[in-house]
Amino acid sequence: MGAAFWFMVAVCGTATFAFITVVVWLGQRTKEREAHYRSEAVKKVAESGNSAALEYLRETDRIEAARGRLKARLAGLITAAVGVALLIFLHELIPETKVYLVALVPLFVGVVLLVFSELMMKPKE
């Protein structure tokens, strides 16, 4: 492998990481702006002397908790599916050894995420 290849790898890697950095930065700015607008709206409603601000905050918290629970459930399902697929793949790849048992790690992590999202993240009624 020549020097030109490694130079191209370095340039492509740098460009990729720079792109990822800009995308993450833009996402954070968007979230910050949304939080600012939300807090300004709550201030205006609270200044009007209405109890709707408190209800709005409670509803926003409930929606965020539901989203977090859904994300944990999805992460658990994906991780468990990867564990099952890896278990089958490794068992078919090397059937005479028990190397496929390594796939139990992501499988159990996925199961724990699912159990956590169902039992520990229950919505408060």
- pLDDT tens across the length of the chain (125 residues): 788 898 999 999 999 999 999 999 999 999 999 889 888 877 877 777 777 777 877 888 889 889 999 999 999 999 999 999 999 999 999 888 888 899 999 999 999 999 999 888 777 66
pTM for the model stands at 0.62
Statement to judge: residues 45 and 16 lie in one domain? yes
Instruction: State the pLDDT at residue 38.
Output: 82
57 occurs within a structural domain: no
Burial class (CB in 10 A: 0-12, 13-18, 19+), 53: middle
Instruction: State the pLDDT at residue 56.
Output: 77
Instruction: State the pLDDT at residue 110.
Output: 94
36 occurs within a structural domain: yes
55 occurs within a structural domain: no
How many structural domains does the chain have? 2
61 occurs within a structural domain: no
- Cα–Cα distance between 68 and 58 in angstroms, integer? 15
Q: Which of 39, 34, 69, 71 is nearest to 56 (CA)?
A: 39
41 occurs within a structural domain: yes
Instruction: State the pLDDT at residue 90.
Output: 92
60 occurs within a structural domain: no
21 occurs within a structural domain: yes
Statement to judge: residues 74 and 112 lie in one domain? yes
Domain of 113, in residue numbers: 68-125
